[in-house]
Chains A and B, each alone.
Chain A
Amino acid sequence: MKRFLGFVKKEFQHIFRDYRTLFILFGIPAAQILIFGYAVSTDIKNAGVAVLDLSHDEITLKLTDKIFSSGFFKKTENLLNYEDIDKVFKKGKTKAVIVYEDDFGKKLISEGKASLSIISDGSEPNTATLITNYTTSIVNDFSVELAGPGLKNTIRISPEVKMLYNPSLKSHFMFVPGVITLILILICALMTSVTITREKEFGTMEVLLVSPLRPIQIILGKVMPYFFLSFVNVLLILLLSWLVFGLPVKGSIFLLLAECMLYILMSLTLGILISTVSKTMQQAIFISLIGLMLPTILLSGFIFPIENMPKIYDYVSSILPPRYFIVIIKNIMIKGTGFIYIWKETLILIVMTLVFIGLSVRKFKIRLE
């Protein structure tokens, strides 16, 4: 045990003496949270919207007012006829046009039905979708407000399920859990794989292997300091996303932290596995960064929903640990669900951790033979 503690102490000395390691460990996560949270924001603020009101009655005026008072949109122009729509889009500032049909208010009261179209600029598909969704949601609100008992389904636009847990449609809510998932696996895998390959490159690994330290002690000694520091990191990231983005943790904070620990441990053991297959630090860095970053961003459901992917990507994605952790963390943080809804994902992560440990110990032993 004393041997082991001395070894762990040395690992801490390595970390605290190397400002680059500290920077990667704490600087990059903070920067990524802020960059992803702000820059990659898909929120809409003051998007240009024009109105073509062919009815021009009390109800359409009210609804238009409500739409623009939301803060998401800025009225660019009042249009007079259909021909203007094309022109106004070409000017570039307008991203969508809202069109009320003739006698909108009258029809709504007499027939209980009226139609309104939202024409958006498809050359920016993301913005277009978002504006459409935002407007739809406002219109639905309005129809509910307006609806007397006889006026149900006045305006037929179905509500989007996507907004259910993110009513103000803040994209931070979507991104922050994803970013946490991404950076934890990157940092943890990178750190452990580099620290082990570094010893290989400098030749100190030989000396450690010849020493009375057991391989398992060497592995644990490498993992423990980073486990501790990564956990501190998690606390920092959560604090940061709460302070800056107001992202709450709706579910149990203890459950969240426990799941984070599991995920950190999984990532660290993955790092060890990477180190056993790479000979140099460069190789380890390459595998950890490129090999983990792209699949995590593209295939884990971080940005693109897995349900929309071709089946083959779905299969590929199912071997990616982040896919499961994203589900876990979103469930706990945003939906506030308990363990009962995420036990499957948790179990998968546990199994993956065990597999990684098993493989690394085996690889380690083969190297000894």
Chain B
Amino acid sequence: MNEKVIYVKNLVKKFGNFTANDNLSFEVFEGEIFGFLGANGAGKTTALRILSGLSKPTSGEVNVAGYDAYKQAEMIKRNIGYMCQKFSLYEDLTVKENIILYGGIYGMSKSLIRERLTNLLEKLHFQKDENRMISDLPLGLRQKLAFSVAVLHEPKIVFLDEPTGGVDPITRRQFWETIYETASRGITVFVTTHYMDEAEYCDRISIMNEGKIVALDTPEKLKKQYDAASVEEVFIKIARP
């Protein structure tokens, strides 16, 4: 087995009397694409915020990229990438300026940013457009670019919070190709999504319901276990027993 990059044991997060995360335990390995599923309000966002160093757990062990979530949130932040559903690039900045900005925020040197910028533009066949405003780009391209920026500093893990919300199926498909490519470089991809077809693309998925993880395995095994044709069916069987 590969190295563990996320280790969560008995994680509990309470807001007053409300338990948002109830005794979560799971592990995510290097280079894995891990799908984090659940209905709205199931506690996904809370867990994601804890894993990305934005919020502290109430109790339990949480270790991300080798750092402890209680004491080393700053180190966690340096070693992860993040992309959210709402678009994470600045529309009034050019492609190049966005990349330089995020590179700078993650403490990369000028020459390194320059090098990665060139590689990135080449890979996206985008050399001519480095000075175009983000607002001029089509949505699919923006999304790919946002993802590439999120992994620009080569983090150990990249968190994607419903990255394909409101995108057409073809663009989603293309986006997932980028995700595969990134995972093959050894970057762990931790993705939350509403789209059950996307869940099929993940190496493993976990399904949350009312603050608890109720299922965690590969899509194939889950389908077998629940005697379902698709992850969607699994999800429905779990959410409405």
Contacts and interface: CB of A to CB of B under 8 A. Distances in A.
Nearest to A367: B54
A309 interface: no
A212 B91 CA distance: 22
A148 interface: no
Contacts of B91: 202
Contacts of B102: 211
A116 to B, nearest CB: 68
A6 B78 contact: no
Interface size class of A (residues with CB under 8 A): 20 to 34
Q: Interface residues of A: mostly helix, strand, loop or mixed?
A: helix
A368 interface: yes
B85 A210 contact: no
B97 A212 contact: no
Nearest to A211: B105
B82 A17 contact: no
B171 interface: no
B218 interface: no
Nearest to B56: A369
B198 to A, nearest CB: 20
Interface in B77-98: 77-78, 80, 82-93, 97
B101 interface: yes
Contact of A207 (B84, B103, B104, B107): B84
A10 B93 contact: yes
B85 A2 contact: no
A213 interface: yes
A14 B74 CA distance: 27
A368 B55 contact: yes
B64 to A, nearest CB: 12
Chain B, interface size category, equals: 20 to 34
Nearest to B74: A212
A13 B92 contact: yes
A212 B77 contact: yes
B43 interface: no
Contacts of B90: 10, 14, 202, 204
Contact of B52 (A2, A10, A210, A369): A210
B145 to A, nearest CB: 13
Contact of A204 (B55, B88, B104, B107): B88
* Max chain A C-beta neighbours (<10 A), residue from B78, B90, B100: B90
B106 interface: yes
Given A202-B91, A203-B88, A212-B78, A10 B53 contact: no
Given A211-B82, A211-B106, A368-B55, 13 more contacts: A3-B104, A202-B90, A202-B91, A203-B84, A203-B85, A206-B82, A207-B83, A207-B88, A210-B52, A210-B159, A211-B77, A212-B74, A369-B56
Interface of A: 2-3, 5-7, 9-10, 13-14, 17-18, 202-204, 206-213, 368-369
17 contacts: A5-B104, A7-B101, A7-B105, A10-B90, A10-B93, A10-B101, A14-B90, A17-B92, A202-B87, A202-B91, A203-B88, A204-B86, A206-B84, A207-B88, A209-B54, A212-B77, A213-B105
